[in-house]
Chain A
Amino acid sequence: MTEFNRRRFIKTGGSAIVLGAASAGGLSPLTASAQGTVKLGLLHSLSGTIAIAEASLVDAEKMAVEEINASGGVLGRKIELVIEDGASDNPTFAEKARLLIERDKVAAIVGCYTSASRKAVLPVLNQTKGLLYYPTYYEGQEEDKHVIYASQEATQSVIPAVEWLAREKGKSFFLVGSDYIYPRTCNKIAKPTIVKAGGKVLGEEYAPLGHTEFSSIINKIKAAKPDCIYSTVVGGSNVAFYKQLRAAGLDGSKQTLLSTVVSENEIEGIGKDNAVGYYACMGYFQSIKSPENAKFVKAFKAKYGADRVIGDPMEVAYNCVYLWKKAVEKAKSFDVDKVVAASGGIELNAPEGLVRVHPTNHHVAKKVRVGRARPDGQFDIVWESPMIEPNPFPKL
């Protein structure tokens, strides 16, 4: 059957109607392609400030789709991708989500990176009965029946990370973060956890988003002399923070610095030399040794080049497509309500190991790891947690 999508339809205008009617036997454009394929929307920032972190997720998602299509598709249908650019702008995310659902009739969307963009998309999902797979670690405090949160929420990384620090590295802590919801929520979780582990918090500092001058905060850390520094500094600030820490002599040998937001992708920008010796806590590291991960890394590098690295959100983005596939196959339907109902309890042997969708709260149970940055920009995994159940609304 002749394929044609709605966008081309609009572009070519009237002539296409005649053509379309002739070739698709009078079917409306919306259902014309629905027989042999199913549409999946990808909605990420491909331009604008967040594209730094977000654009590479699309690569991983595309790869998952190609793999699935090569092995026969979902319920016998090939996946047809519709990619939209959220342009780092939250209203644009909402608008594009609506387009994907209403115009393209996508069965599900894999997308968003920042919490703000996800929050902007939520009302659209609820109105249009859409389904979003969200691939980024985030602060929790949310549970929407139209969203599957495929990465670790804050308690899943902060609690094990802080407990590991208190157990292995020392009991006094200094908390540094960028000034917005993720770091503040993480530190809200970290503080009682530290106290419970017998430690104490010597200081808590927030720098404005995008801040590049950390000399005063570094001086405060020096004055406080903590054993451990827990960092949730994000974005370009992170680069400045790591560079200035090292220049000021805090190179991780006396104090242990651990971040829950620095993956292999961030290290590319921070610079391998600047990041070496600092720790990170993530669900996925490219250096995980397992047959699943070896296959995943090999395929990714073959497709996109040997110098590309894979960070946690990219792997989760890849998992998202498979989680959706599994849910659809369990539900034997692309219907959003049925897929959501079938999602609970689904297990996936991901590159990071087993992940399991929680029976009710739409998050996933998974393992997290603590890694130490190596000179080559990869992490030596020094500790692995048991499976951790998600707890998006922790009682603190």
Chain B
Amino acid sequence: MNFDIAVMQVFNGVSLFTILLLMAIGLAIVFGLMGVINMAHGELMALGAYMTYLAAKFFETHLPNWMGVYLFVAIPFAFTVTFVFGYLLERGFIRFFYNRPLDTLLATWGLSLILQQAYRSIFGAQEVSVPLATWLAGAWEPTSGIQLPLTRIFIIGLTALVAIGVYALLYHTRWGLKVRAVTQNRAIAGAVGINTDRVDALTFALGSGLAGIAGCVFTMIGSTNPGTGQLYVVDSFIVVVFGGVQSLIGTALSGFAIAQSQTWLEYLISGSMARATILLLVIVVLYFRPNGLFATRSRN
């Protein structure tokens, strides 16, 4: 392997890491902090992707001169729609299933099927094509042999912003303090006057909104169809579980480990074998550390 290819491989590893992190961060909040196994998380990503599609269509027909910046409208739009949808979902559906993990699993799986069929009825079974802003097409070439796709650079930057934002929100705001308090002990948190219902709803909505952002940027590298979410949800769960539920840092580090090993294994052996190997590694690690790489210690 020559130097150029090695540089691109490292870049690919970093890129996949940010993609996995963006996928998993919303799930880490919903599953990790709230303990809700949301099988419909992928469909929330698909919702974000479809909102991006709608935004692109809107710009194409009404503001063709502004197509270059539509993404900066699409991202907040996708976030807002999925955030509101997540909020309503929590209030009208999810909250009836707290402390019933198996029921949640089935209910949200059913929800994911319903959402998929809804997308199919509204947007059609065919894939929709989300146009790419011209300034994001192509690659940055620091030297003639190295091409770093601009879309991936954009995703790396955006994920960094989102991750820092989520960290700041959870660890440096009063609301974040409440979320962590509810996560650690719901009863006591309620007793000291935190409105746990409200915290639950907003936390779930935030997780959903982050899924919306992920769905939005994935239109740049992947496909958008009613089943798109299914492609991402399994990977997201693997990252969260492998990292240790309840640990955002764990999610980040597990995303990094999985991304690097996957890119390199894919390069050294074949794609299918790489995936099988990764899953095997995850199983081995979980066998020895059932709570994931970075489990928070607790007395029970």
Contact = CB atoms under 8 A, between A and B. Distances in A.
Interface of A: 46-47, 49, 51-52, 54-56, 179, 205-208, 210-213, 215-217, 219-220, 222-223, 235-240, 243-244, 246-249, 265-266, 268-274
B127 A239 contact: yes
Nearest to A244: B221
B125 A55 contact: yes
Contacts of A236: 127, 222-223, 225, 227-228, 231
Interface string B180-222: 0000000000000000000000000000000000000010111
B277 interface: no
B138 A249 contact: yes
Contacts, number: 140
A212 B129 contact: no
B223 to A, nearest CB: 3
A236 B45 CA distance: 15
B222 A239 contact: yes
Contacts of A235: 223
Given A212-B223, A223-B1, A268 B126 contact: yes
Nearest to A271: B129
Interface residues of B, number: 51
A269 B147 contact: no
Contacts of A55: 125-126
Contacts of A243: 132, 151, 220-222
B9 A216 contact: yes
Interface stretch (B93-101, B238-246, B265-273): B265-273
Chain A, interface SS category = helix
Given A240-B223, A269-B129, A272-B129, A247 B5 contact: no
B127 A47 contact: no
A248 B9 contact: no
Nearest to A238: B223
A247 B129 contact: no
B253 interface: no
A83 B2 CA distance: 57
B223 A239 contact: yes
A217 B8 CA distance: 12
B262 interface: yes
A189 to B, nearest CB: 20
